[in-house]
Structure 1
Amino acid sequence: MDEPFGALDEITRENLNLELLRLWRETGKTVIFVTHSIPEAVFLSTRIVVMTPRPGKIEAIIPVDLPQPRSFETRELPEFFRLATEVREALRRGHGYEVAE
């Protein structure tokens, strides 16, 4: 799925994120979800693949071990913020920006 929720308002997007997770739990199917939203990537994923710009290469693969099932409260966990920071730093590295240590 390539940016399927990109044009939606935040509340609708969050509700569809929960619906997608419900369908994933029920079907057990693999979903490859492309998004430019770091919080959305962390919320939906069991693994995040961070890509570089052209030519696209894998900069990092970040496992996401947040509790399932996910809920609105998941976005308030310290681990959620830690993962979002890790993804942001990998994106900066992949784009050639300095990352503070």
Structure 2
Amino acid sequence: MAKGIFFRESVIQRDLERFAPAIAKSINGRCVTLMHTHTEEIRMGYSATTDYGVFDITMPYEQDDRCQYAILDEVWTVRNHRKGESKTGFPTLREVFEYIESFK
């Protein structure tokens, strides 16, 4: 996906699902796609479960008047459920994985 280009939710979900198995392997855990829309901010990405916690790995999206979505900022945010903390500023998933591994 590219910043500022709008897609149907199903297209984005398929794109995210394509990488979920590789993410699960990288973190030696489970990974499913997710979408948070319960606040004013829309976030899409992954929920990853490892032996050392559950992490939401997301990017912010915006919605247009046709109910399509586009990435607002190409930076990943990681929310650690166990610690109740979020950290943002990860430009790549590799950096996200390194951060998650720091909780071992």
- The TM tier, using the shorter chain, reads 0.3 to 0.5
If the length of structure 2 is used for normalisation, what is the TM-score?
Answer: 0.33
Of Structure 1 and Structure 2, the greater helix share is in 1
